[in-house]
Amino acid sequence: MAEVPAPLSHTVRVTVRFKESDLLGIVWHGNYVTYLEDARQALGVRIGLSYEDFMRERIAAPLVDLHLQYKKPARYGDKLDVTAALQWLDIPKFVHRYEIRRVGDNELLTVAETTQVLVHPDGGLALNFPPFVEAVRARWRAGQILTGRAEPSPFG
């Protein structure tokens, strides 16, 4: 049995904006989903699985499951490191695990997990990884993909 490659991860840094918080300055719970998407998309761009790659190949990857566990609140003005880690799977779906930590004290604020399936233009579920995904998986298995550094989110 072949060894499972380590997850591919990437971290983006976001600053909590006023519009993302409530009257107490606490981030409204629904905004965390946007932070997760920012990290997931930045990882996808780095490894060749961006939204543009999926659109070009005419494959959709809808989110079908989302779990969030809020441990401590993020607040207006906080800088957050949001890490997305893509897990290796042998079936055609994507599972990302996330951590959101406050910059400065490195406090763990939120953990999460999302699952995406692959869907053809006719709406049918993909039973195999498409060739463009298999190409990324080959580079991943060979250790040719470097990820992980924190950078400002390019998405907001």
Contact 94, 133 (CB under 8 A): no
Q: Residue 4: is its pLDDT beyond 80?
A: yes
The residue-averaged pLDDT of 52-64 equals 96
Q: Write down the pLDDT at residue 150.
A: 55
Confidence of residue 151 (pLDDT cuts 50, 70, 90): low
Residue 49 parent element (H or E): none
Which one is predicted more confidently, 72 or 151?
Answer: 72
- The string of pLDDT tens digits covering residues 68-98 is 999 999 999 999 999 999 999 999 999 999 9
Q: Mean pLDDT in the chain?
A: 93
Q: Give the separation between CA 10 and CA 85, rounded to whole angstroms.
A: 7
Matching residue, tokens 């609140």: 73
Q: Residue 153: is its pLDDT beyond 90?
A: no
Q: Give the separation between CA 11 and CA 123, rounded to whole angstroms.
A: 32
Q: Residue 39: is its pLDDT beyond 80?
A: yes
Q: Residue 127: is its pLDDT beyond 70?
A: yes
| pTM to 2 decimal places | 0.91
Three-class SS of residue 14? Answer: strand
Q: What share of the chain is helix, strand, coil (3-state, %, to 5)?
A: 25, 35, 40
Q: Give the separation between CA 15 and CA 37, rounded to whole angstroms.
A: 15
CATH number listed for the domain at residues 8-152: 3.10.129.10
Q: Residue 152: is its pLDDT beyond 70?
A: no
